[in-house]
A and B are shown apart, each in its own frame.
Chain A
C-alpha cells in the first residue's frame, strides 16, 4: 500500500501539465461556481455560464480544475452521512494552529538551552504527540484520572497528554498538552516535578493544576507549594491559595487562586461571575464544535455549575439563566444570540 502511494504522488509530481490555464479564466470560473450554487441562480445565468464555457478552450480547461476540486468536496459531503467530516476538518485546523504556537514556544527554548526541560531536541514534543508515544492521554471531552507508581494522583482534563519519567532520583511528569491536576504523594528521596515547554515546576508537598495554552503555562496551587523555574532562570514559589501564569521568560506575580479551577476534575465548570465568552471558550474545549457567539452578548456575566460531559444540558442551563437563544444550526455549529 505504501509503495503504491509513493507511485501516485511522484507520478503526479512528474507528469506534464495539462492544457495551459490562465489566472483570469480561473478567476471567472470560480465566480461562476459561486454563482451557480446560490439559491437564487436563474436559468439565464445558467445559460450565460454555458456560453462562457464554449467561448474559449481556456474556459473549459479552467472549469476542469473546478470540477476536480468540487468532486473532492462532493465526495466528503456524501461521507458526511456516516461521520462528522466538517468537524474533523475544523479540529485538524485547530490542532495545526496550536502546534505552530507550541513550536514557537519551543524555538524560544532553544535560545536558552535548558537541558532539564523535556525538549532536548527541537520538535520532539509534537512528534511524541503525533506518534502516540504518550503515556497518558485524553481525547477531547474526556476527563480521566490515574494513580502514578508512587501513589501520586493525576487528573487529565480534555485533550491532554503527559509522559511520566520516573527514575530512582526524580519523579517527573512531562506536560505535552492540555491541563492536569496533581495530588502528590510524599516521597522523602525523590522530588516531584512537572516539565513544560516554558519551564519546570517542582512540587513541595502539594495539590495543584497546570495548564498549557499556546506559549503560556497557568498554575494554581490548592495545597502545599510549587516552585516555578522558567527557562530564563526566573524562579518563584507559589503557595496554596495562589495562582499565576508564566512563559519561558517571565513569571507573573501570583494572584489569589480561584478554587473553581479544579472543578473540572469533578466534571463541572464552576462559573463564578465570568463572561459568556470565557464560558463558551471553555465549553468548546470539551467537544468538537464551534460556538458562534454574538458580540452583543459576549460580555454577559454568568454564574453556575455547568456539566462538562453534557454540552447540551450546559447550553440549556445557560439559556435559562441569561437572556440568550441557543440554536443548534448543525451538530457541530452552535449559535448564541440575544434572545429576541
Chain B
C-alpha cells in the first residue's frame, strides 16, 4: 500500500523521508482509517483525512521510537483534522443558508463560491482566537463598514477602546499569518 502523492509534491520530498512514511503508512494506515471511520461515520471522509495525516508526515517528517508513539501522534493529528472538517462543513452550511436568504439575480460561479468559502475559512480561523467583542469590533468595521464611533456605541465602549481592539485583532492576525507555516501543523 502506498499513499497517493499529489504529483507536484513528489519531486521535493527526499527519498529517505518517502521510505519512512511508506513504512509508517504500512503499519498504521489501517488503524488510523478505522479510528476515523468510527469518528466520522463516513468512509470517504475517513479515507481523505487518513491520507491528510500521512501527507503531513511527508512535509514535516518526524521520528517515532515506538508504535505507540507514532499512533499517539497520528491520533492527535486525526483529531485536529476532524475538528477542521466539521468547521469547514459548519462554514459551508451557514454560508449556503445565508445565500438562500438572499436569492441572487445572477448565480455566482462555482469557482467564486469556492473562493468565498476558502476566505470564510481563513477569516474564521483568525477570528476564533479572539474574545467575542474584539472579533465583533473587527467584523463591524471591516465587513459591515461601521465607523469606530458607531462601533463604540454598539459595544458600549469608548472609541479609543475600539481602536485598541482593531490593533489587537490585526496584530493577532498578522502573527498567525507570518508564522503560518508553523501554525498549520
Contact = CB atoms under 8 A, between A and B. Distances in A.
Contacts of B59: 10, 13-14
B41 A86 contact: no
B162 to A, nearest CB: 9
A90 B56 CA distance: 30
Contacts of B173: 30, 69
Given A75-B115, A330-B140, 9 more contacts: A12-B181, A26-B178, A31-B167, A33-B170, A35-B167, A82-B104, A95-B90, A95-B94, A333-B144
Interface in B20-58: 38-42, 45, 48, 52, 55-56
Nearest to A20: B178
Contacts of B91: 88, 92
**Tier of interface size on chain B:** 35 or more
Contact of A33 (B95, B115, B135, B166): B166
Given A82-B104, A85-B98, A127 B86 contact: yes
27 contacts: A7-B9, A14-B12, A21-B178, A23-B175, A29-B170, A30-B171, A35-B163, A65-B177, A65-B178, A72-B122, A73-B138, A75-B115, A82-B102, A82-B108, A83-B101, A89-B123, A93-B128, A93-B135, A95-B90, A96-B90, A124-B38, A124-B41, A130-B89, A292-B156, A329-B154, A333-B154, A335-B153
Contacts of B94: 88, 91-92, 95
Contacts of B40: 127, 131
Interface string A88-109: 1111110110010000000000
B120 A84 contact: no
- The main secondary structure of chain A at its interface with chain B is helix
Contact of B95 (A34, A88, A329): A88
A114 B122 CA distance: 39
Interface in B140-185: 140-150, 153-156, 163-164, 166-168, 170-171, 173-175, 177-178, 180-181, 184-185
A241 interface: no
Interface of A: 1-3, 6-7, 9-15, 17, 21, 23, 26-27, 29-31, 33-35, 37-39, 62, 65-66, 68-70, 72-77, 79-80, 82-93, 95-96, 99, 121-124, 126-128, 130-131, 133, 139-140, 288, 290, 292, 294, 329-330, 333, 335
Contacts of B149: 39
The 4 closest A-B pairs by CB, nearest first: A30-B171, A34-B167, A34-B166, A30-B170
B62 interface: no
A17 B179 CA distance: 9
B82 A123 contact: yes
B41 A131 contact: yes
B116 interface: yes
B98 A34 contact: no
B67 interface: no
B170 A69 contact: yes
A3 B181 contact: no
A158 to B, nearest CB: 13
Contact of A122 (B39, B167, B180): B39
A89 B137 CA distance: 13
A6 B180 CA distance: 16
A5 to B, nearest CB: 8
